[in-house]
Amino acid sequence: MKVGIKEKILELDANLAERIRAVERPGLLRTTAILFAHSGDSWFWLLGLGLLWLLGNERGKETALTMALGILITAAIVFVLKFTIRRQRPEGDWGGIYRKTDPHSFPSGHAARAVMLAVVALGLGPAWFAVLLVVWAPLVILARVAMGVHYLSDVLAGALVGVGTGILALQLYPYIAAL
C-alpha cells in the first residue's frame, strides 16, 4: 500500500512532537513546561487584563480592551477551525482539563493567544512588556508540545492564527481608544 504525502507529513509531525515531549520525564524541564503550558490559559489573561482595565491608566485600559478583544476573536477563529478540522490530540494523560473540554488539537489556541498577545504588545508597548511577551510566546508554544497536548503543526498553525488576530486587534485599537 502506497503512503501518501499527507500521511508522511502527519508521521513526521508526530515524530517531531515526540522528540520535544517532556511530560513523562519528571524534573525541572517538565515542571517549567507545565508552568509555561498553563501560563497561556485564557482565563488567566482575561483576569489579568480585567485588573489592568480596573486599575490602569487610560493607555492601560485601552491596551487591556484591545488584548481582551484579541483573545475573544482568536478564540472564535480557533474554535471554528478546531471543530471543522477535528484533529485529535496526541495520546496522553496530562492536561485532562484541556482533553475533556476540547478534544481537538489543531490549531493550538494557546499558541494563537500567546502570539496574538505578543503582536499586540509589539504594536502598543510598553517596550519591556513587548520584549517579555515576545520571549514568553515561543516558550508557551514549545511547552504545549512538550506536555503532549499538541503536535508541532498545531502550534505552528496556532502561531499563524495569532499573528493574523494580533494584526487585526491592532487595526481595531483606534476604535477602542476612541470609546
Could you report the per-residue pLDDT of 117-159, keeping only the tens digit for each? 999 999 998 999 999 999 999 999 999 999 888 999 999 999 9
pTM of the model: 0.90
Distance CA 104, CA 94 (A): 15
Distance CA 175, CA 72 (A): 16
Those residues whose C-beta lies under 8 Å from the C-beta of residue 133, and which sit 6 or more positions away, are: 114, 117, 118, 121, 122
Average pLDDT, the chain: 90
CB atoms within 10 A of CB 158: 30
**Total structural domains within the chain:** 1
C-alpha cell at 12: 513526521
Q: Please report the pLDDT score of residue 10 as a whole number.
A: 81
Domain housing 105: 5-177
